[in-house]
Structure 1
Amino acid sequence: MSDLSSVQYILIALIFVWSGFVRSGLGFGGAVLSLPFLLLVLDDPLVFLPIIAVHLLVFSSLTIWMNNRKTGQAQDGQGGTVDWRYLGRLLAILIVPKLIGVFGLITLPGDIMSGIIFVIVALYSVSYILDRPFRSGSKTVDVLFLMLGGYISGTSLIGAPLIIAVAAQYLPKEKLRDTLFALWFILVLIKLSAFLWVGIDLQLIHHLWLLPAAAVGHVIGLYAHDRLLHSESNLFFRVLGGVLLTVSAVGLFSVWG
């Protein structure tokens, strides 16, 4: 990124502010809602994906640590703001398809897979907006959706919306974001290890100015998340549905537009 103009640097910084806000506000979207804009500034995803991955590791772990210091350990055996039991179930389902995606053991057409995931997420999002959350009624279907999300997150970083569409059915809203943060931390650590293994530049020098930009958005997002949690009970999921629908629209446009 050394040959960019001043305007491009400013735009990238503002997009990372937006990325931090979305990530901490809902627990996902830092990659999928910022990468399309970043690629308009510089059309090279391998420049931005390592930066986004490191940001997620930093801010997800920091948020979980701060929230658990603030609230103390829960008495239900699940540990503070993270539902570790459900997290373990998610990992048991996701880990194999995640690794398949990371190492390219099975190669499927990217546009078709992305299109499928965005259509499914759009259906979920409309149900949240209408305050009639869709439930598959089948554990088998939920597992298939999670496996698909795991595979997509291995090949890129856009599998989160489908994983959330399933997880939101089973987790209370107070634990949804931080449980997802713990999940993203583990999954992104695998992805980042793959980047190191193949010798992709992690753009470490650019973290000096992009981490503070993302931190500004992160702090604003934390405030917005607290407001959502203390608002009327269905507002959180309506906002979640709206963001998921936006993700789907942007994704479908980028794939088939």
Structure 2
Amino acid sequence: MEFTTLEWFFIALIFVWTGFVRTGLGFGGAALGLPFMLMIEDDLLYWLPIIGIHLLFFSSLTLSKALKQVDWAYLKRSLGWILPPMIVGVFGLVSLPTQWLVIFVYSITLFYAALWMLDKAIHSENSWVDRGLLVTGGYVAGTSLTGAPLMVAVFARHIDTHMLRNTLFVLWFILVSIKMSTFVMLSVKIEWETALMLIPVAAIGHVTGLKAHEFILHNSRVFKRVMGSMLLIVSSIGLGVTLLK
């Protein structure tokens, strides 16, 4: 891809933002970053491998000293429900028309944005609803890496708060490893140079997110309302432009 200087500037800001969200919340880097990326270049197969490389790199750094704070037992149980639909979603990503996938991402983001603006949460008190959310979240993660809020709703109910973020990072690492391996197997072009070039930029957001994690947890309602409003505007514009093409 050839981007203008101004576009590269906005790409850099977006990756600072995704790094901040990923470590600040423990999830949502792709969900809150992809709508902005698609406004610059509406090709999921261009952005997702770059996001995947960053997630593998930064989650490895975060987990290198925190593997004892992971709920391995629940993670193993949940993977049985997440992995099969996730793999189906990956193959859908490489076979479905780009416009359909872009519409799908904007629609999912609008759903999350509306929930956050209205201060509503996805939750479950039933094991079968949990499984439904895990299956749906796995499929969405396979197609776009934006299924985190659906799966977090289940994990947050079963895992102690102090272990939640690290357990989620292990989950993202496993899912993205499978996804990247599938990309390589299917000969999807991966922009390694661009991904590596953007790591120092994303590191700014990563470090800032680590420092802001506790603050965000204690002010998550305000944070999500502001982010929901912003995502609602961006995704509405992006969806409208995509539908008019």
After TM superposition, is the score higher than 0.5?
A: yes
What is residue 174 of structure 1 aligned with on the other side? 162
Unaligned runs of 5+ in 2: none
> Normalising by the residue count of structure 2, what TM-score does the alignment of the two structures yield?
0.81
| 1:20 aligned partner | 19
Q: Is the 8 A contact 1:20 1:217 kept in 2?
A: yes
Q: Distance in 2 between matches of 1:251 and 1:62?
A: 31
| Structure 1 match to 2:73 | 85
**d(CA) in 2 for partners of 1:146, 1:242:** 24
- Per the alignment, residue 72 of structure 1 pairs with none
Q: How big is the shift at 1:169? A: 2.2
Question: What percentage of aligned pairs have identical amino acids?
Answer: 44
Kindly provide the amino acid, as one letter, of the partner of residue 98 in structure 1.
M
- DSSP-derived class of the 1:80 partner: helix
Q: What's the CA shift for 1:171?
A: 2.3
User: What are the equivalent positions in structure 2 for 1:1-257 lying under 5 Å apart?
Assistant: 1=1, 3-66=2-65, 68=66, 80-104=68-92, 121=112, 125=116, 129=119, 135-228=123-216, 231=218, 235-236=219-220, 238=221, 241-242=224-225, 245=228, 249=232, 253=236, 254-255=238-239
Closer, same or farther: CA 51–116 of 1 in aligned 2, 3 Å = closer
8 Å Cα contact 1:114/1:251 also seen in 2: no
Aligned counterpart, 1:74: none
Report the Cα distance in structure 2 between the residues aligned to 1:80 and 1:212, rounded to whole angstroms.
28
CA distance in 2, matches of 1:123, 1:139: 25
- Alpha carbons of structure 1 residues 64 and 172: separation in structure 2 relative to 1, 3 Å: same
Partners in 1 of 2:204 and 2:42 — Cα distance?
Answer: 25
Distance in 2 separating the partners of 1:169 and 1:34: 26
Higher helix share: 2
Distance 2:234 2:29 in 1: 14
In the alignment, the residues of structure 2 paired with residue 92 and residue 228 of structure 1 have an alpha-carbon distance, to the nearest angstrom, of: 31
Taking structure 1 as reference, are residues 177 and 53 closer, same or farther at Cα in structure 2, changes over 3 Å only? same
Q: CA 1:87–1:14 in structure 2 vs 1: closer, same or farther (change >3 Å)? A: same
Cα deviations across residues 24-56 of structure 1 (Å, max 9, x unaligned)?
Answer: 101112112111212222232222111100000
Give the TM-score taking structure 1 as reference length.
Answer: 0.78
From the superposition, tell whether residues 220 and 205 of structure 1 become closer, same or farther in structure 2 (CA, over 3 Å): same
Out of 170-179 and 143-152, give the one that drifted further. 170-179
Q: Distance in 1 between matches of 2:154 and 2:109?
A: 14
Contact persistence 1:97–1:147 (CA under 8 A): yes
C-alpha RMSD of the superposition: 3.2
User: For residues 246 and 187 of structure 1, do their structure 2 counterparts lie closer, same or farther at Cα, with a shift above 3 Å needed?
Assistant: farther
SS at match of 1:31: helix
Unpaired segments ≥5 residues, structure 1:
69-78
Tell me which moved more, 181-190 or 159-168.
159-168
Cα distance in structure 2, aligned partners of 1:42 and 1:111: 10
* Aligned residues between the structures: 237
The CA deviation at 1:244 is: 7.8
Letter in 2 for 1:194: T
Q: Is the 8 A contact 1:33 1:247 kept in 2?
A: no
